[in-house]
Structure 1
Amino acid sequence: MEFSNKKHAYLIIAHNNWKQLSLLLSVLDDERNDIYIHIDKKSKNVPIDSLRKSVKKSKLHIYRKFKIYWGHFSQVECELYLFEKTSKNKYFRYHLISGADLPIKSQDYIHDFFEKNADYEFVHYDTEERLKNDHEIGRRTRIYHFLQKYRRRYKINFINEIFTFLERILLLIQIICHVDRLRNSKMKIKYGSQWVSITDDLVQYILKNRKVIYKLFKFSNCADELFIQTLIYNSKYRYRLYDEKFDNSIDANKRLIDWSRGRNGNPYVWTILDKKVIDESECLFARKFDEIIDEEIIKYIISKVK
């Protein structure tokens, strides 16, 4: 496959930790990269000018279009929006990351790696066994999740619990009535990490299938972990995956993420005590980092890869 544009696009979804985000921007700042950030419309006191000053070499685009809610379709809408904005320039590679991520290799290393693996799609898939045994994942698309937007929306936890209870009642009614949104669908639903590094060819395919995405996933739970995996698996792009084993390997999307030590549905936050693990990893990116929990590891990685 030949590419006229060899530049990479970084698509960043962020909502807090502005000092950390500035450091992320600074380490991505390279003539070979353009950077596109979506900052949650709910976020307050965003230092836009300060963020812009972090970038000298790349073209930086900052958007604030969506209020994003955990597990809600707004996350998918945000990703599609960023793909649409970036796709006009037909980049060599599109990296979808969060504001809590960091590259753990230099830009020279990352560009060289993708030059050598230009035709592959780097997308993570969880195991087939988990899809069969985890009923929550199976229900994400099969039944309607009308109240997902409200479950973690409020500062008063009691209100969130009310909406969670109502959501469960609605789900139970649908289970009793044998609701199945996928009954007439030929698509096989797949599941994995939302953070990907993909080609322009695949980005264009995703955007062409926007109607399919909305039909299948608009009322799904955590659809951001489903829609790209599902589209790929049910298309020719399945045979362009870097890792075709579908075995929950972090090598599939080159993201170092530790779920085993995570809590409440969130991955583990790396600290300076994990320096050796990060240094020895063959992944290109890692998450999650948090300047409030451990700023030292962030500064260490920045100094190492910049």
Structure 2
Amino acid sequence: MGKHAYLIIAHNHVKLLNQLLGVLDDPRNDIFLHIDAKTSDDYLAAIHKNLKYSPVRFSHRVSVQWGGFSQISSELSVLGTAVATKHYDYYHLLSGADLPIKTQDQIHKFFDQQQGMEFVQFQQPKISPEKLSRVMTNFYFQEKDVRHNKLYSTAQRIFTKAQRILGVNRIKHSNLEFQMGSNWFSITDDLARDVINKSADLLPYFKHTQCADELFLQTIVVNSKYRQKLYHLEFDDSKLGNMRYIEWVDHAPRDLTINDFESLKASPLLFARKFNPDTDAQIIEKVLRKLATA
């Protein structure tokens, strides 16, 4: 019986997180949680840690800032904890706003049939100059909540513009091909261990980088043997790349609603995000009911 590791990064909506833990609770699964270091003790206390079948382990907590290097740090924290625990057939990175849209029997059957394939999504055949600038330029204030702090956002804009005028290019001496896509993945044990082992050499390229979590794993894969082991070989922004149902609006994942249920029901994909009980709790309950009665 193949064992899977579910890696979950969460910081809010503890009821939804507990619902996610409930549908992952299965003898074939171990669960690893990264909880944002800014999250309160009350939140931690409310997490269901004693499931019926799946052990729940916590990784070292990082204070995560949107778009910052801390996002990579949190992913490496929870992945590293899982890799250090035992060997798993697959490692699935989810957020606390995700749910599976297939049963565990269906998910395990799918990965048994695709054993050895890597589920990493790529946006396009060649990264655009705009997206490549994320690693060419130093974003010194990316850990300072530049989306909501006018002082830091202004300072970052000035510094990045100055670097471009001066021709700063942090990767000009690198032989790496940089790529990007969704940061949510399902990967084999071999790739998971290579990510941990190679991270020290690659991390300098991604520090002070904007939204580096969308480039980190893709860059590792595209420069390695795992490129030929991708389930979906075309770099075309397909959801099949990582088997995640995500609807994007204005460069951000849209909250799913009850209007998405029929699409979710008909989808061949395995996981979906993002769910938000403040936007629509009905879709969450309907997905959970479908999984319970499948």
State the TM-score, normalized to the length of structure 1.
0.92
Aligned counterparts, 1:3-22, within 5 A: 6-22=2-18
Mapped pair 1:201 → 2:190: yes
Q: Which residue of 1 aligns with 2:221?
A: 232
Describe the shift of the 1:70–1:161 C-alpha distance in structure 2 as closer, same or farther (beyond 3 A): same
Please state if 1:190 is matched with 2:217. no
Give the Cα–Cα distance (whole angstroms) in 1 for the partners of residues 228 and 42 of structure 2. 42
Q: What does residue range 99-114 of structure 1 map to in structure 2 within 5 Å? A: 99-114=96-111
Aligned residues: 291
SS in 2 for 1:128: coil
Q: Provide the secondary structure at the position in 2 that maps to 1:13.
A: strand
Map Cα deviations across residues 169-212 of structure 1 (whole Å, 9 max, x no partner): 11011101101111100001100000000000001111111222
Letter of the 1:232 partner, please give it.
Answer: V
Distance 2:207 2:227 in 1: 23
Q: Distance in 1 between matches of 2:49 and 2:132?
A: 45
Name the structure 1 match of 2:161: 172
Q: Distance in 1 between matches of 2:285 and 2:42?
A: 21
> Which one-letter code corresponds to 2:100 in the other structure?
P
Cα offset, 1:128, TM superposition = 2.8
Q: Which residue of 2 aligns with 1:298?
A: 284
| 1:67 maps to amino acid | S
Q: CA deviation at 1:23?
A: 0.4
Matches within 5 A, 1:15-94: 15-52=11-48, 55-63=51-59, 65-88=61-84, 89-94=86-91
- Out of 231, 243, 252, the residue aligned to residue 254 of structure 1 is 243
Deviation at 1:213, TM superposition (A): 2.4
Q: Structure 1 residues 198, 128: closer, same or farther in 2, change over 3 A?
A: same
Verify the 8 A CA contact 1:140 1:222 in the aligned structure 2. Answer: yes
Cα offsets for 1:88-126 (capped at 9, x unmatched)? 211111000100010000000000000000110000000
Do the aligned partners of 2:103 and 2:291 also contact (CA within 8 Å) in 1?
A: yes
Residue 61 of structure 1 and its aligned partner are, at CA, apart by 1.1
2:257 maps to 271
One-letter identity of the residue aligned with 1:148: Q
Match of 1:283 among 266, 269, 273: 269
Return 195-204 or 48-57, whichever deviates more.
Answer: 48-57
- Distance between the aligned counterparts of 1:90 and 1:226, measured in 2? 25
CA distance in 1, matches of 2:113, 2:72: 30
The DSSP-based 3-state class of the residue aligned with 1:150 is coil
**Equivalent residue for 2:92, pick from 73, 85, 95:** 95
Q: Which moved more, 1:184-193 or 1:45-54?
A: 45-54
Q: What's the secondary structure of 1:171's corresponding residue?
A: helix
Provide Cα deviations, 1:128-153, integer angstroms capped at 9, x if missing partner.
36x23x61x12100111111111347
Task: Specify the SS of the correspondent of 2:179.
Answer: coil
Q: Which amino acid aligns with 2:199?
A: R
Q: Amino acid of the residue matched to residue 193 of structure 1? A: S
> In structure 1, what is the Cα distance between the partners aligned to 2:238 and 2:13?
29
> Compared with structure 1, are the counterparts of its residues 251 and 21 closer, same or farther at alpha carbon in structure 2 (3 Å cutoff)?
same
Aligned-partner Cα distance in 2 for 1:49–1:58? 18
- 1:251 aligns to what SS in structure 2? helix
Q: Which residue identity lines up with residue 150 of structure 1 in the other structure?
A: K
Mapped contact 2:60–2:78 kept (Cα < 8 A): no
> Taking structure 1 as reference, are residues 63 and 208 closer, same or farther at Cα in structure 2, changes over 3 Å only?
closer
- Post-superposition shift, 1:50? 3.5
Deviation at residue 266 of structure 1 after TM alignment:
2.0
| Equivalent-residue separation in structure 2 for 1:19 and 1:247 (angstroms) | 35
Contact 1:24–1:102 (Cα < 8 Å) also in 2 = yes
One-letter identity of the residue aligned with 1:128:
P
Partners of 1:63 and 1:47 lie apart in 2 by 16
Paired AA for residue 224 in structure 1: D
Give the whole-Å Cα distance in 1 for the aligned partners of 2:279 and 2:41. Answer: 21
Q: Provide the secondary structure at the position in 1 that maps to 2:253.
A: coil
